[in-house]
Structure 1
Amino acid sequence: MRSLKILLLSSAFNGLTQRAWLDLRQAGHDPSVVVFTDEASVCRHVEDSGADLVICPFLKDRVPRQLWSDVQRPVVIIHPGIVGDRGASALDWAITGQLSRWGVTALQAVEEMDAGPIWSTCEFDMPTDVRKSELYNGPVSDAAMVCIRDVVQKFANGFVPVPLDYTQPNVIGRLQPNMTQADRTFSWFDCASFIKRSIDAADGQPGVLASLEGGQYYLYDAHLDSRQGTPGAILAVQDDAVLVAAGDRSLWIGSLKRKAQPGEETFKLPARQVLAEQLAGVPVLDSSIAHQAFNTLVYQPIRYREVGHVGELTFEFYNGAMSTEQCQRLVAALRWAKARDTQVLLIKGGRGSFSNGVHLNVIQAAKVPGLEAWANIQAIDDVCLELLTARQLVISGLTGSAGAGGVMLALAADVVLAREGVVLNPHYQTMGLYGSEYWTYSLPRAVGSEIAHKLTEECLPISALQAKQYAMIQGIGPRCPDAFGLWLMQQASSALSDEKYLHARARKAAMDIQQVERCREQELAQMQLDMVQNRQQFAQKCQGFVLKRKTCQSPQRLMAAWALSPHPTVQQNRESA
C-alpha cells in the first residue's frame, strides 16, 4: 500500500490518538495530528494540508460542514459503539445496561451526529465489573485500532462506505440520549454493586454527583467491601479512600470532586484529602503489606504475595498519579519486600496506567503548589532509589501506559517487561520540567546517551515495540491483562537462569552507587528551579492540565512535514478547474 497523508483530528492527543499515530507510522504512513481548537483554524489547517484522509479517534467536537461535505477527502469518526449506536454516552449506557457485547464503529462524518455510512466495525465481549476508563483504554482501544487499520486499507482500495440501515436485522444499536446526572443518581440505601456500577459508568468524566457528609461531591474510583453500617455513613479510612456504607454492604471511594459554586473550578482529589475536616474520629485502617494478606477481592492499592523465590508487589494508584503520601507508602512497602527472603522482586501496576509520575492534582490543591511538587518529586525519587538498590533482581511489569516519571520509575528496575499495546511518554519538557527519578542514570544506561537525548527532547510517545528496539524494555507480553500477569510471573520465576536477562544481571552487579547519587543531586538542582522557582512555567502548565484548559493550537512536534507545507486549498483547486 502506498504511504497515505492521514490527518488525525482529535480533541486531545489522548491515549487512543497516540496509539493510532504510532500504529500508522509503524505501517509506513506519515500521520499528522490536528488538535481541535476552533472551527475556522481546523478547517484551514485540514484543507491547506492536502491530506488524503481524516480520521477522528477522539473527537468531542462536531465536524464542520466545510470538512465533511468534501467527498474527495473522507472524514471518518471512530465511535465507541456498535453499528447503529449513536450519542456521546455510548460507554456509559453499555456499562449501566450490563451488556454482554459491545464494539467500535468507524463511520463517515455527515450532518447528523454518528449517522454516517459505515467504514468498519469491530465487536468484543464486554468485561464484567469494568470502569469506563478501563473499558476505553482496553477493549475499546483495541477494537478502534482494528477499525482504523481497516479504514486505511479500504480507503486505499477505493471502498465505498455502507449507509446505516436500521431495517437490517444485524443493526441493533440505536440513538441514545446523553446520559445526565438524573440517569446516574442513586441512594446510599441501594445495593453496593448498583452504586459501584453507576460510578464505574461515569469514571473519568463526569463522575456521579451524590451527597456525602452533608456536601455534594462527584464520586470516582469505587471498590466493593463486605462491611455494613448505616447507609451513607463513613465507616473507615484507608490510604486515600473512605469506606461508605450502602444498603447491603459498603464501598471504598478513592477520589472526589467537590461540586463547584458559580464561577468556581474544582477538580478530582483523593477522597481523604477532600473530606479531611469531616473525618475526625473515623477509624483509620492499617494498609501496610506487612499486616494485610494478599487479596485481589478487597481494596488494596498496594499488595504483595510470594510465589517461590519471587516477591510480587502490585501498586494501583488512580490514573497513575503518585502523590507524596502514596510514594511514602510505596517506599515502606518496598523496604519490607526487600527484606524478605526472595531472589526476584517483581513490581507491577494494576488495572489502569502503570504510573504517570507526580500527582499534579494534589500539587495544584496545595497551599504552595511549588513546595508540594518539590516534596512529591523527592518522594518518588525515594521509590526509584529503593528499586535501584534492591538486593534482589528487580523486574518492572508495565501493565498499562506510562508517562514522564512513571517511565523512569520502571527503568529503575533491572528488567522491564511491557504488555502489548502500551504507550510510553519518556519526557518531561511539555510540563516545563527538567525531570528527575534518576532518569539521567537509568535512561542512558538502557538506551545510550544519544537515544536518551532524542527521547527527552522530541517529546513524542513511543510504542512498546519501539521501546524494545531501543532496549528500554526487554520483553513484550500478552495484551490480555490476566494473561500478561501469568506471563510476568513466568518471566520472573525464570529470570535468574534465563540467558536473555544475563546482561541485566551483569549490569546490576556493576552499578556505581556514587554515580547514582550524583545524578539525583544534579536532577534535583534543576527541578528546584522548575518547581519552586517556576523557571519554565511549570505552575501555569500544571494548572492548565489539572483544570483541563483547551489547547490554543496543535503542537508543532505532532505535525508531519507535508501538513506544514503550503498546499492549494480545495476552493482554489475548484476555481482553477
Structure 2
Amino acid sequence: MRILILTHSFNSLTQRLYAELAADGHTLSVEFDIADSVTEEAVALFAPDLVLAPFLKRAVPESVWRRVPTLIVHPGIVGDRGPSALDHAIQHGYTDWGVTVLQAEAEMDAGPVWAHATFAMRADATKASIYRNEVTRAALAAVRQALAHYPDWRAGRWRPRLQDYADPAVRGRPHAPMTQADRALDWAAMSTRDILARVRAADGFPGVLDTLFGQPCRLFDAHPGPRLDGATPGTVIGRQHDALLLATRDASVWIGHVRRADSDHPFKLPAALAFAKEAADLAQRADLQPAYPDITYRESADGRVGFLAFAFYNGAMGTPECERLTAAVHAARQRPTKILVLTGGHDFWSNGIHLGRIEAAASPADESWRNIQAMDDLCLALLEATDRLTVAALQGNAGAGGCFLALACDEVWARDGVVLNPHYKNMGNLFGSEYWTYLLPRRVGEEAAVRIMRERLPLTAAQAAARGLIDRVFGDTVKDFADELAVRAAELADDDIDRRIADKAARRAADEAAKPLATYRAEELQQMWRNFYGFDPSYHVARYHFVMKTPHAWTPRHLARHREPGWHTAAGGAGA
C-alpha cells in the first residue's frame, strides 16, 4: 500500500511504525503536521491509499479525512477519548491498557474502530517508558491488523466497528485533559508511592509542576529513595551526582531532572545542574540505598560475566556521565571476568552527547568539545579492553553516537523492537566521532557505511542485523531479553573463550598497526571542530531547536519522499 504518515514529530512510535511498515513492503512517505494546507498538499502529491496518524496534537483537516481514509493511532482502550490517555491509566493504577486504531471523523477519537490491541501495564514504569515499549508494540500489532482489513473495506466486504458505549466490551470512556491541578503533589499527606505515580504519569511531558528551593519547576525522572527520619516532606536533603533527594512522608524520592520556568534554559536539565547554585552545598549521599539508578554493576554467579548497566535519562550522555561510565568500565576490567556486558537502560542504550547540557553551558561550543572527547574516551576504553570480550546488549533504542558506542564492543545484541538511528547529519550536518570511521566500515564495508550514513533513516533491530550492524536479535520484551541475555552470555563464556580473547587481541594489534585509533580520532575531531567552532552554524541552530522543541517548519526531505522532484512521475502516478 501507499501510506502517508502524518505526525507531529518523528518520535519513537512513528519511527518504529515507519521502519516496520517499510520492511513489510509498503511505500511510505512522512509529512509533519504543520498546517492544514501543507497536509492537503502532501496528500495531493503522494496520492496515498490511506493516511496513518500515529502522533498528533490536533485534528486532521476534514478536507483530508473525507477524501482519504485516515487512521488515528490512539494510546487508549476502545472507547477512551481525549488527551492524557496514558497519563490517566498510570496515575489511576490501571493494570491493563491498550491501543486503538480508529478512523478520523469530526469528533476527536470518536470514529469507528479498525483494530485494537491490549497489554498489561508494567508496574512502576513511567509514561514515556510504557509509550516506547508496550504502547509501541501494541500499536504496531493494531496497525498491521487494520491494514489487513483495508482490501475488504475497499471492496465493501468489511466495516469498522462503531464505538457503542452500551456495549459492555467497550470499557473506555471520554475524559478531560489532565491538568496540573490533577497532578498536584501534597508532600505532607501523600505516600512515596502516590508521589512516584504522579511524576511517572507525567514523565516525558508535561512533568509535574512543583517547587524546589522555593522556585517553580516541573519534576521528571523520579525514583524511590531510602527511608529517612526527621526531614520535612518536600525538602531537598541531599544529592547523588546531579540527582536531588527529597524527603517524603514515609521515605524519600530521587528527582533526576527538572524544567525551570524562571531560567534562561527552560528545558529539561539534570536537577542539580538546573539548580546549580542552590545544590552546590548539598552533601553527596553516595552511601544511601536505594541509590539513583544510573550506573550499576553486578556479576554472574560463577564470576565469569560482568554486567554493567547505565540508564541515563533519554539516553543522553553528558561529559560527567561519560567520565563516570568510563571509570566504571576501567573498574570492571579489574575484575577477573571473561566477558563484560554493557546493558544500557530499558528505554535507551545511548543517544550520544547531551544536547541539553551543551545548550545550557556558558560556551556550547566548548562543552560540545568536552562532551565528544569524553564519549571518545569511553569508546577507547572499550576498544582497548583486549583482555576480555565485550557485548553491547541493547534493551532500548540507540541513536547517533550511541549506535557507534555499541559498535565499540565485540558483539552487539539487541532486543527485537529496538530502533537504531546510526547517523549524525540530522543534527545540523554533524560529522560525528566515537571512532565511527573505523567501527562502521569494519562491520559493513566502506560502501554500505556511506549508504547508511547518507540515508538517515531508522532501522529496526532485524534490519540492522541484516546489514551487519547487529549480531543477534532476541526477546520481545525487556524481561524476555534480560532473561535470554544471561543465558547467551553464559554460553559465550563457554565458547572457547580464551582463544577468542587471544584472536581479538591479535586483530586489534593488526588494525592498530595498519592505522592507529589515534589517527581515526584526530581525523574525526578535525571535522567536529569545524562543526563546533567553524563558520557553519547549522549544528548550533539544529541543537537549539531540538532542545527548545521548536515546532517544525517543514518536513525533512529524506522523510517526505513525495516532495522529491520527479517522485510522482518515477512512482508511476496515483495508485501505482
C-alpha contact (below 8 Å) 1:107/1:117 kept by paired residues: yes
CA distance in 1, matches of 2:273, 2:447: 42
Q: Which amino acid aligns with 2:185?
A: F
* Cα distance, 1:298 vs structure 2: 4.2
* Cα distance, 1:226 vs structure 2: 2.2
C-alpha contact (below 8 Å) 1:213/1:278 kept by paired residues: yes
1:119 pairs with 2:114? yes
What is residue 32 of structure 1 aligned with on the other side? 29
Aligned residues: CA RMSD: 2.1
What is residue 16 of structure 1 aligned with on the other side? 13
What is residue 305 of structure 1 aligned with on the other side? 298
SS at match of 2:257: strand
Equivalent residue pairs, number: 555
* Cα distance, 1:211 vs structure 2: 1.4
* Cα distance, 1:471 vs structure 2: 1.5
* Cα distance, 1:117 vs structure 2: 0.6
CA distance in 2, matches of 1:140, 1:217: 28
CA distance in 1, matches of 2:69, 2:250: 52
1:448 pairs with 2:445? yes
- Structure 1 residues 561 and 531, CA gap change in structure 2 (3 angstroms): same
SS at match of 2:341: strand
What is residue 554 of structure 2 aligned with on the other side? 553
1:470 pairs with 2:463? no
What is residue 516 of structure 1 aligned with on the other side? 517
C-alpha contact (below 8 Å) 1:131/1:200 kept by paired residues: yes
CA distance in 2, matches of 1:503, 1:336: 22
* Cα distance, 1:131 vs structure 2: 0.3
SS at match of 1:442: helix
* Cα distance, 1:227 vs structure 2: 2.7
Q: Which amino acid aligns with 1:424?
A: L
Deviating 4+ runs (over 4 angstroms): 499-505, 561-568
Residues 514-564 of structure 1: CA distance to partner in whole angstroms, max 9, x if unpaired? 522211111011101101225351110000000011221111111346986
* Cα distance, 1:351 vs structure 2: 2.0
* Cα distance, 1:452 vs structure 2: 0.7
Q: Which amino acid aligns with 1:227?
A: R
C-alpha contact (below 8 Å) 1:414/1:504 kept by paired residues: no
Residues 434-456 of structure 1: CA distance to partner in whole angstroms, max 9, x if unpaired? 00001001111111111111111
CA distance in 1, matches of 2:120, 2:51: 29
What is residue 180 of structure 1 aligned with on the other side? 179
Q: Which amino acid aligns with 1:59?
A: L
What is residue 226 of structure 2 aligned with on the other side? 226
C-alpha contact (below 8 Å) 1:95/1:197 kept by paired residues: yes
Residues 417-437 of structure 1: CA distance to partner in whole angstroms, max 9, x if unpaired? 001100100000111210000
C-alpha contact (below 8 Å) 1:37/1:552 kept by paired residues: yes
SS at match of 1:135: helix
Q: Which amino acid aligns with 1:468?
A: A
Within the candidate set 97, 103, 112, 1:108 is matched to 103
Residues 88-119 of structure 1: CA distance to partner in whole angstroms, max 9, x if unpaired? 10000000110011000000001111000110
- Structure 1 residues 265 and 160, CA gap change in structure 2 (3 angstroms): farther
CA distance in 2, matches of 1:224, 1:384: 31
C-alpha contact (below 8 Å) 1:208/1:219 kept by paired residues: yes
CA distance in 2, matches of 1:501, 1:45: 58
CA distance in 1, matches of 2:70, 2:566: 21
Q: Which amino acid aligns with 1:234?
A: V
C-alpha contact (below 8 Å) 2:117/2:142 kept by paired residues: yes
C-alpha contact (below 8 Å) 1:49/1:563 kept by paired residues: no
C-alpha contact (below 8 Å) 1:357/1:405 kept by paired residues: yes
CA distance in 2, matches of 1:115, 1:438: 51
What is residue 257 of structure 2 aligned with on the other side? 255
* Cα distance, 1:141 vs structure 2: 0.4
CA distance in 2, matches of 1:53, 1:450: 35
CA distance in 2, matches of 1:170, 1:534: 61
TM-score (norm 2): 0.93
C-alpha contact (below 8 Å) 2:42/2:562 kept by paired residues: no
C-alpha contact (below 8 Å) 2:5/2:30 kept by paired residues: yes
CA distance in 2, matches of 1:471, 1:499: 23
CA distance in 2, matches of 1:530, 1:356: 18
CA distance in 1, matches of 2:100, 2:79: 9
1:52 pairs with 2:49? yes
What is residue 417 of structure 2 aligned with on the other side? 421
* Cα distance, 1:479 vs structure 2: 1.9
